[in-house]
Amino acid sequence: MEPAGADDYSRGQPSALDDDTSSANNQSNESYPSQKNEHEAQSPSAAAAAAAASASAAAGADGEDRTAESASYLQRLLTEGHERPDGYFCTICFLPIEIPVGRHSVTNVCCMKTVCNGCDLAASQLGMYNRCPFCRTPLPHEGASFLAMVQKRVDKGDADAVHFLGDQYYQGYHGLVEDVPRAIELWTEAAELGSVEAHFNLGTTYYDGDGVEEDKPRGTHHLQQAAMRGHAESRHNLGVFAFGRGNYEIAVQHCMISAKMGHEMSLICIKAMFMKGHATKAQYAEALRGYQDAVEGMRSPQREEAKGLGI
């Protein structure tokens, strides 16, 4: 595939990957049952290498170079991003935050630091109302003062703040007029500055054609970028897409990674694939164990208390 342009997206990897993995996995699905035991014993990277090799094997004589490139991209996709990124840990208790992070934490615009619901509750119990539990800045309310504080961080090139401002435009919050093109512009800038969450938003927005013209390869590319940086929801979506194409082997590998980060729907997906014979019992057991370990690692008495209060 010839690059269509100079930007990262246009290098042709996502669509090539999409096509090639489809054919590769249609092929590997047929032989999957007899490979079960061998597959169970493989490490994730060995499994990724096998999947990449199988993508290579599916290449026609005229597409070998492109397929080799796609296979190596697939291998990277499956071997990178098994750990959650820094921003998904509470800045006070340092524990990983439950998924979805936005529901289980607060991010204050003073410092853009993420604090889990448990630590936020504990700060309130200590009388720290209307102040950021991390930097103790008095928090602005709705509207102009809130946006001015965000803008301050944006002006400093804070990727999370640029992403956050994009969200406000997307939703039309704080007196802003809903503006999807502006949101996309800000998310794109944030993604370039390193925001994983911005890649996720761009991914789902382009993939679903939500306020923009639908562009599934572009959406998939952004989800892949986020997944390779440890974004669990993006990884889960890639698993669901692979499942939808009948690429069960790849679907299991994606969902295994996100289940081990504590993504419940990924565990449910692997269970469903196991029930239909698309995943082995050992894979389901591994996902269940990994998920339970991740959930255990995200528990704290303060978080339990917050949940008990419906926070």
Nearer to Zn ion, 77 or 92 (CB): 92
Interface with Zn ion (CB under 5 A): 90, 92-93, 108, 110-111, 116, 119, 132, 134-135
Minimum distance of Zn ion from residue 310's CB (angstroms) = 18
Nearer to Zn ion, 71 or 111 (CB): 111
Minimum distance of Zn ion from residue 291's CB (angstroms) = 21
Residue linked to tokens 């499956």: 78
Cα pseudo-dihedral 123, 111, 138, 306, rounded to 10: -30
Nearer to Zn ion, 115 or 270 (CB): 115
Minimum distance of Zn ion from residue 143's CB (angstroms) = 19
**Helices H / strands E in the chain, number of each:** 14, 2
Nearer to Zn ion, 77 or 110 (CB): 110
Minimum distance of Zn ion from residue 248's CB (angstroms) = 37
CA distances 244 to 222, 237, 247, 248, Å, are: 19, 10, 7, 9
Q: What is the DSSP string of 65-105?
A: HHHHHHHHHHHHHHHS--S--GGGB-TTT-PBPPSSGGGSE
Minimum distance of Zn ion from residue 264's CB (angstroms) = 20
207 and 230 Cβ atoms separated by less than 8 Å: no
Interatomic CA distance for residues 162 and 153, integer angstroms:
8
Nearer to Zn ion, 40 or 305 (CB): 305
